[in-house]
Chain A
Amino acid sequence: MRIQCTNTPVSWLELERYVLGESLIEDAVREHLAECDACTQVSSAIAADERTMPALVIPSPVQPTRAWWKWAAVLVPVALLLVFWRSPGRGGQSSSGVKGDSLSLTLIRERSGVLLAPTHHAPNDRFKAQVTCAPGMRMVDLVVRQDGALNLPIPTSLVDCGNATSMPGAFTLEGGVAEVCIQLVSEKDQGAPQVKDDAVCVIVAPEIR
């Protein structure tokens, strides 16, 4: 169906932004719509289309089917050799293996006693967070960003940092795609939940049954 615009049509892109309240030329678009039935028709069609997006289906990563034992046969002796070769000179030095101020997050997903890949979530899943951070006592926040909202499913914890230290408490996830983040915080960070620039995050998608 061809319809005639009074001047140069306002593009679909600009009309979409206008309807979303994101147009940078909002006044010009409004003026044009006031005198152009063709563009008003398109704009009205956009506004009237109230579709919502279905949950995003994120495929579970495919596990590689490598002959892992072949690698293990080579790597295990090498690792043992390195451990015994280096240990005499290192005495009581920490063996945490944590480098610098790096922070990492491992999610544990458990359903009825069975551990599952933490890439997806379902209503009966419990999640625990394991944090790896440089040794010392540190305040750690776990923030979940989901559907545009931030929340703290477990309280801010004082964690005795090291390798894969479990944060106290467990949590569940519902709804859409969740971004689970951990971050080191201080007293001045207390207040409304926020995701800091140096937060470490993982994506957990809803499981489609």
Chain B
Amino acid sequence: MKRGLVQTPSEAYQRYGPALVRKAERVLRNPDDAMDIVQGLFVDLISRPPTSLDLPYLYSAVTNRCLNLIRNQSNRSRLLESRQDALRGPERTSLGDTVLTLDLLTHLLAALDETSAEIVVYHYLDDLNQDEVAQQMSMSRRAVVKRLTKIRTVARGIARAASQSDTPKPELRT
């Protein structure tokens, strides 16, 4: 099937569902929650079909749903307790000396606005480069670079605070 031939949400569910579950698993580190996120998205899309059903659009929708799930305090605790870090997959984009664990991600989300939180997921978990992040978020590359600089600063601050106290404890690369 070539690009653009997915016409209905149910077709998109079958075709793109596995890719979206993999993506949600990278963020949430929990297969059940990842599947729930994707199924919930398509239930909504079937009742309110969007104009676009391509993979970048669906990636964006899954990103937002994952971030909303993590922002909820009770979900956050549950996810941290049940996390399966292997679901994150190989790390190819580095956040300096710090590993983007689920713990650090939850602290970053608390410290960043929604746009920067999305950029964290796209750049550090989905490995989109700066141009691709800019395109995905309809922003200028310059704005993305500026936010990435701030994200690294905030991440370093969280890591430093973690190293000086017992909690929070983002894992640090030695």
Q: Which residues of A are interface residues toward B (Cβ below 8 A)?
A: 1-5, 8-14, 16-17, 20-22, 24, 38-39, 41-42, 45-46, 49, 51-54, 56-59, 145-148, 176-179, 203, 205
Among B5-13, B67-75, B141-149, which stretch is in contact with chain A?
A: B5-13
Please name all residues of chain B whose beta carbon is closer than 8 Å to the beta carbon of A8 when the two chains form the complex. 129
Please name all residues of chain B whose beta carbon is closer than 8 Å to the beta carbon of A205 when the two chains form the complex. 46
Q: How far is the CA of A39 from the CA of B89 in the complex (A)?
A: 11
Please name all residues of chain B whose beta carbon is closer than 8 Å to the beta carbon of A179 when the two chains form the complex. 8, 10
Please name all residues of chain A whose beta carbon is closer than 8 Å to the beta carbon of B59 when the two chains form the complex. 13
B22 within 8 A of A: yes
Q: Which of A5, A16, A39 contacts B55 (CB 8 A)?
A: A16
Instruction: Establish whether residues A176 and B89, one from each chain, have CB atoms under 8 Å apart when the complex forms.
Output: no
Q: Which residue of A lies closest to B133 (CB)?
A: A11
Q: Which of A21, A51, A145, A147 contacts B2 (CB 8 A)?
A: A21
Q: How large is the interface on B (under 10, 10 to 19, 20 to 34, 35 or more residues)?
A: 35 or more
B157 within 8 A of A: no
Instruction: Establish whether residues A57 and B39, one from each chain, have CB atoms under 8 Å apart when the complex forms.
Output: yes
Q: How far is the CA of A54 from the CA of B39 in the complex (A)?
A: 9
Q: How far is the CA of A12 from the CA of B42 in the complex (A)?
A: 21
Query: B13, B17, B92, B93 — which one has the most chain A CB atoms within 10 A of its CB?
Result: B92
Distance (whole angstroms) from the CB of B45 to the closest CB of chain A? 10
Q: How far is the CA of A49 from the CA of B132 in the complex (A)?
A: 25
- 17 examples of A-B residue contacts, CB within 8 angstroms: A1-B90, A2-B90, A2-B99, A5-B92, A9-B92, A11-B127, A12-B126, A13-B55, A16-B55, A21-B1, A42-B89, A45-B89, A53-B38, A54-B35, A145-B8, A176-B10, A179-B10
Q: How far is the CA of A17 from the CA of B23 in the complex (A)?
A: 13
Q: How far is the CA of A41 from the CA of B13 in the complex (A)?
A: 25
Instruction: Establish whether residues A2 and B91, one from each chain, have CB atoms under 8 Å apart when the complex forms.
Output: yes
Instruction: Establish whether residues A20 and B15, one from each chain, have CB atoms under 8 Å apart when the complex forms.
Output: yes
Q: Which residues of B are interface residues toward A (Cβ below 8 A)?
A: 1-3, 8, 10-11, 13-19, 21-23, 26, 35, 38-39, 42-43, 46-47, 55-56, 59, 89-94, 99, 126-129, 132, 136, 173
Q: How far is the CA of A52 from the CA of B38 in the complex (A)?
A: 13
Tell me whether A10 and B90 are in contact in the complex, defined as CB-CB below 8 angstroms, given that A17-B55, A20-B15, A49-B18 are known contacts: no
Please name all residues of chain A whose beta carbon is closer than 8 Å to the beta carbon of B173 when the two chains form the complex. 2
Please name all residues of chain B whose beta carbon is closer than 8 Å to the beta carbon of A13 when the two chains form the complex. 55-56, 59, 126, 128, 132, 136
Please name all residues of chain B whose beta carbon is closer than 8 Å to the beta carbon of A3 when the two chains form the complex. 90-92
Q: How far is the CA of A27 from the CA of B46 in the complex (A)?
A: 34
Distance (whole angstroms) from the CB of B43 to the closest CB of chain A? 6
Please name all residues of chain A whose beta carbon is closer than 8 Å to the beta carbon of B1 when the two chains form the complex. 20-21, 148
Q: Which of B16, B47, B89, B132 contacts A11 (CB 8 A)?
A: B132
Q: How far is the CA of A17 from the CA of B4 in the complex (A)?
A: 12
Distance (whole angstroms) from the CB of B69 to the closest CB of chain A? 18
Query: A20, A49, A145 — which one has the most chain B CB atoms within 10 A of its CB?
Result: A20
